[in-house]
Homo-oligomer: A and B are copies of this chain.
Amino acid sequence: ILIVVRRFIVVYAWRATRTLWLLVLVSLSVCICVCRASSPQEDSAMENIVTEKKAEESHRQDSADLLIFILLLTLTILTIWLFKHRRFRFLHETGLAMIYGLLVGVVLRYGIHVPRDISNATLGCPVNASPATLLINVSGKFYEYTLKGEINANEVDNVQDNEMLRKVTFDPEVFFNILLPPIIFHAGYSLKRRHFFRNMGSILAYAFLGTVISCFVIGLLMYGCVMLMKQVGQLGGDFFFTDCLFFGAIVSATDPVTVLAIFNELQVDVDLYALLFGESVLNDAVALVLSSSIVAYQPQGDNSHTFEGTAMLKSFGIFLGVFSGSFALGVATGIVTALISFFTKLRDFQLLETALFFLMSWSTFLLAEACGFTGVVAVLFCGITQAHYTFNNLSPDSQDRTKQLFELLNFLAENFIFSYMGLTLFTFQNHVFNPMFIVGAFVAVFLGRAANIYPLSFLLNLGRRNKIRSNFQHMMMFAGLRGAMTFALSIRDTATYARQMMFSTTLLVVFFTVWICGGGTTQMLSCQRIRVGVDSDQDNSVSVITEGPERRSTKQESAWLFRIWYNFDHNYLKPILTHSGPPLTATLPPCCGPLARFLTSPQAYENECQLKDDDSDLILTDGDINLTYGDITVSTDASGAHTSGGAAFAGAATSDDLDRELTYGDHELVMRGTRLVLPMDDSEPPFTGRPRRTVPTRTDPSHRANRPVPDTPSFTVSHPASLLFLYRHVSLPLVATHCLYLILVLLLSTPFWHLPLIVI
């Protein structure tokens, strides 16, 4: 009976859940209709206060519009919970948000008819300027108006017709000033730093060189396409080479949030993850600055779209200036925050600490914008700096708080952008869907990504010991999704014909890549036989076993770029900016003794600094254990006694070890195993929350080799049985959903495909 009752309840709960969804959907549509319908009617009593009423009306409308988005997000959350609950992996929350956005867009566009709004008036009287603020004298009363923007002459009638659709259209600057900053900051703040720094050279190459290559390849291809269109007579307006390059720049910003979520869930190879994540984080910044410097390309003279050397150089200068300026600003604010949290004992008051952290990070954005740099880029580097330095000074409680806060903001902003994307396919007024351009764009995007990944990987492989294998390259190629940044850049300016065509095309590119490429990730992983179920903490040790000497040699590979900086960072910056790290007295040369004592945190002396596992996250496999050694020596002595001598020894030993490692390399592992790591395990305090790499498993190879694979869902795809498992569980619904997507996309875009053809 009990089991029956339970099953009954479960079934009931399911039904109730579904009813709830229906309820939310119904309430959503009712709210859309009611709020729009009810607002013009009531309130007949106070007809005299016209302005006030109007303002109130418009406020209600705004609330209703915002409410639609909030309910959309709620719906997305509920559905995504269902998907996670049932372990559906072929539709990410962002893809789902887009679908819901599309549906609401259809309702808004075709389902609701708002009576023609007569409150707009076109002023005919001659004005010879367009000031930012306008005062209008209406029979003795002055009204103030603010400039919203220019409107195409042929849309003036449209404006009056589609007041409602224009209401749900946000000011594009909202994306840059409100929604993108938390997303980008979160990306910087949550960079998996150990693997990021290990692959820093490759990531920088992909992000900088790769984005530029991709931008120019796409730009050139699109220029060819546009030329062809001009020949055929399909082009309805101007489309210059700079426009093509601009399109290349905005479409080069990849955002594989869907893929990364699946990678995270399936625990795909950490190097691949780091490469993809690092590239996507940085190339957003590159694409943003690149596109703004392309816009700034303004040759002098009559024809403003010819090639001119000085103008190009100026554009290049702008690129460098804006990028480095934003970088410097972001890092500077990060360091200021670290200093503040270092010198004040704010950690006793978590609320103040969290608030300060939030405000300082936000002020980075505002400062950069106020100085004419790019706020989003500054915020990215601020995030990385905060994670690297400030995070170590925060109390454990604040560490959690800040992480969770930005995680939430990121989640909300991201889903909002994607659902808005879906909505805007129908509510945007000036779509220009040109089939030829769209096909050309898809080809160009594909080729541009290929021209980014394959040649660069080939070149990088010449230098890398730990090669980027061809299946990784294919996966990176496949994971070139376009997302929030591309959308925000393309919607920022939709004034001209060229920009409108770009916007519509970009929208389709985003839809296609997020749904098809995002949905096909698991299948692609199995196709490319990429190992999944890799515990990122076990990864290194396992690979030492399986790949033997080849593996061990990789530790040298990333060293040349990074080791010098790391040494400087660990020995000088960390002690100055954070409470972790060795005291400066140990790392500075003896002649600087007084200065070192002056600058060193009391905590470093008193050995109150706790072992931060982020500290060890940062470092290469081998330097890592060195650092662990240094830190643990400090933390095991934490009984309260004065051990400045011991700490000095630890610091000295660390730099000593790094030197030795550079020379002897291969002997390190054994040395460390016998010398330091084993006795430390007992004294290590139980660390809160996140699982920590236990040191002994690494030092004892035989023990490690015999350990069974952890029993989390860690099926390696190369094994035929688990491959079968993957196919059985994933393929069928996957294929079905793909078909559905295709039909949906085709159905949705049909009216638009016809429209331009009919018009032309």
Contact, CB under 8 Å: B138 / A129: yes
Chain B CB within 8 A of A344 CB: yes
* CB-defined contacts of A25 to chain B, threshold 8 Å: none
Report the stretch among A245-253, A400-408, A438-446, A666-674 that lies at the interface. Answer: A400-408
Are A366's CB and B67's CB within 8 A? yes
A267 at the interface (CB under 8 A from B): no
A137 within 8 A of partner (CB): yes
Contact yes or no, B351 A71, CB < 8 A = no
Chain B residues with CB under 8 Å of A600's CB are 9
Partner of A153, one of B140, B177, B359: B140
- Find A131's partner among B12, B85, B119 (CB 8 Å cutoff): B119
Q: List residues of chain B with CB within 8 A of the CB of A46.
A: 296, 298
Interface positions of A from 110 to 137, Cβ below 8 Å from B: 119-137
Chain B residues lying within 8 Å of A74, measured Cβ to Cβ, are 356, 359-360, 363
Q: Mark A75-113, 1 if CB is under 8 A from B, else 0.
A: 001101110110000000000000000000000000000
Residue A735 CB within 8 A of the other chain: no
At the interface, yes or no: A63 with Cβ under 8 Å from chain B?
yes
- Which stretch in A141-149, A202-210, A218-226, A703-711 binds the other chain? A141-149
A129 to B121, CA, bound (A): 9
Q: Within 8 Å CB of A724, what residues of B? A: none
Q: Is A173 an interface residue (CB 8 A)?
A: yes
**A73: interface (CB < 8 Å):** yes
User: Is residue A313 contacting chain B, with contact meaning CB distance below 8 A?
Assistant: no
Measured in the bound complex, the distance between the Cα atoms of B359 and A73 in whole Å is: 8
B142, A51: Cβ atoms closer than 8 Å:
no
Find out whether the CB atom of A128 lies under 8 angstroms from the CB atom of B139: yes
Chain B residues whose C-beta falls within 8 Å of the C-beta of A365 in the assembled complex = 63
- A163-B163 Cα distance, complex, nearest whole Å: 30
- The residues in A between 258 and 305 inclusive whose CB is less than 8 angstroms from any CB of B are 296, 298
* Size of interface on A: residues with Cβ below 8 Å to B: 120
Bound CA–CA A84/B156 (angstroms): 59
A553: CB under 8 A from chain B? no
CB distance from A353 to the nearest CB of B (A): 9
CA gap between A124 and B142 in the complex, in Å: 10
- The yes or no answer to A2 lying at the interface (CB within 8 A) is yes
**In the assembled complex, how far is the CB of residue A348 from the closest CB belonging to chain B, in whole angstroms?**
7
Residue A562 at the chain B interface, CB threshold 8 Å = no
**A345 CB within 8 Å of chain B:** yes
Q: Does the CB pair B355–A412 fall under 8 Å? A: yes
Contact B148 A352 (CB under 8 A): no
B136 touches A127 (CB 8 A): yes
- Check A81/B411 contact, CB under 8 A, given A51-B149, A128-B138, A369-B60: no
B-facing mask of A555-584, CB < 8 A → 1, else 0? 000000000000000000000000000000
Per DSSP, chain A at the interface is: helix
Kindly list chain B residues whose C-beta atoms are within 8 Å of the C-beta of A598.
12
Q: Are A133 and B151 in contact (CB under 8 A)?
A: no
Interface residues of A in 370-388 (CB under 8 A from B): 370-372, 375
Interface-located stretch among A13-21, A319-327, A607-615, A625-633: A13-21
A340 touches B (CB below 8 Å)? yes
**Does A642 touch B at the CB level, under 8 Å?**
yes
Q: A123 and B151: CB pair below 8 A?
A: no
The yes or no answer to A35 lying at the interface (CB within 8 A) is: yes
Contact flag A137-B121 (CB < 8 Å), given A66-B366, A411-B355: no
- Distance between A130 CB and nearest chain B CB, rounded to angstroms: 4
Whether, in the assembled complex, A192 has its beta carbon less than 8 Å from a beta carbon of chain B, the answer is no
Indicate if the CB atoms of A363 and B67 lie closer than 8 Å: yes
Contact among B31, B345, B370, B412 for A367, CB-based, below 8 A: B31
Contact A369 B147 (CB under 8 A): no
How far is it, in angstroms, between the C-alpha of A60 and the C-alpha of B374 when the chains are bound? 11
Given contacts A63-B370, A411-B355, A602-B9, contact A120 B132 (CB under 8 A): yes
A10 within 8 A of B: yes
Q: Could you jot down 22 A-B contacts, CB within 8 Å?
A: A64-B370, A70-B359, A73-B359, A77-B352, A77-B355, A77-B356, A81-B345, A82-B344, A119-B131, A119-B133, A121-B131, A123-B127, A124-B137, A133-B148, A133-B159, A134-B134, A135-B151, A135-B159, A142-B152, A143-B150, A145-B148, A351-B407
- A residues near B (Cβ < 8 Å) are 2, 5-6, 9-10, 12-13, 16-17, 20, 31, 35, 38, 42, 45-46, 50-51, 54-55, 58-60, 63-64, 66-67, 70-71, 73-74, 77-78, 80-82, 84-85, 119-153, 156, 159, 163, 173, 177, 296, 298, 339-340, 343-346, 348-349, 351-352, 354-356, 358-360, 362-363, 365-367, 369-372, 375, 401, 404-405, 407-408, 411-412, 597-598, 600-602, 605, 642
Those 5 A-B pairs whose CB atoms lie nearest each other, nearest first: A125-B125, A145-B145, A63-B369, A67-B366, A64-B370
